[in-house]
Structure 1
Amino acid sequence: MTERTDRVELALDLLAHLETDELTLADVVDRIETVTTDPSLTREILDAAEMRGVIDRDGARVRTRRGGTFVRFESQVVVREGEFECRRCGAGLSTGHFVRFDSGELGPFGSSCVRKVLGRE
């Protein structure tokens, strides 16, 4: 797989595991930006997510079609100590939270950002 394909798959895994039924398009893009900030790749991810039935887009609203796939914090979120920068907000971290998906690992995030990214807040 190419790096681009890997990023698409990682973002699709993230979108498939969001724990919310509906988000604004801006909120979905906020989540995708934890994987990539490339606008063309973001569009590719949104198109692929819609084609694969992960999301339904209706203008500026996006409905998720989870089918019961939640991230299990006990087994899928790994906590590591070290010097990190949060992929969502850019804050310096001494404890990083990494989310493990079938397609790869996403992170690091701070404790509140990992919950926000996954739709728990």
Structure 2
Amino acid sequence: MTEPSTRAETVELGVELLAHLEPEELTLSDAIDRIETVTTSPALTRDILDTAEKRGIIDRDGARLRVRRGGTRVNYETQVVTREGSFECRRCGSGLTTGHFVRLDAGELGPFGSSCIRKVTGRDDSTDE
């Protein structure tokens, strides 16, 4: 993955990731877990959440967050690509020989392992509450 080079690019990538999250409602903690695949900076995380809320992408209610995506979800056939190589999962840090990358308009996010890509996008039932 090419790291976002500016603060604004990082915020855009984080906002777009939020716009594609499943399920539509999740805890703030679960949303932050996913944002941490973009940045671990608390200030940038706050900027991502604030920007997404101002744009009407999310609604925050205390420790809960609702995604107002209007039908957008990560399409695994067109937006997730795999590459062979030597990678480290961006979510859990495990070594990978196959990396899964999410292509968003704001940039590419990854690499992730096969289970972490599902957790990041919210397709893994174990992350739902």
Same fold (TM over 0.5): yes
**Aligned runs of 1:1-121 on 2, under 5 Å?**
3-121=6-124
Q: Work out the number of aligned pairs and report it.
A: 121
1:71 positional shift? 1.0
Structure 2-normalised TM-score? Answer: 0.91
Structure 1-normalised TM-score? Answer: 0.97
Q: What are the superposed Cα offsets for residues 19-49 of structure 1, whole Å, 9 maximum, x if unpaired?
A: 2111111100001000000110110111001
Q: What are the superposed Cα offsets for residues 56-105 of structure 1, whole Å, 9 maximum, x if unpaired?
A: 00000001111110111111101000010111111110100000001100
Q: Secondary structure of 2:77's partner?
A: helix
Q: Unmatched 5+ residue regions in structure 1?
A: none
Distance 1:67 1:53 in 2: 11
1:2 positional shift? 5.7
Sequence identity, in percent?
A: 71
| RMSD over aligned Cα atoms | 1.1
Distance 1:97 1:105 in 2: 10
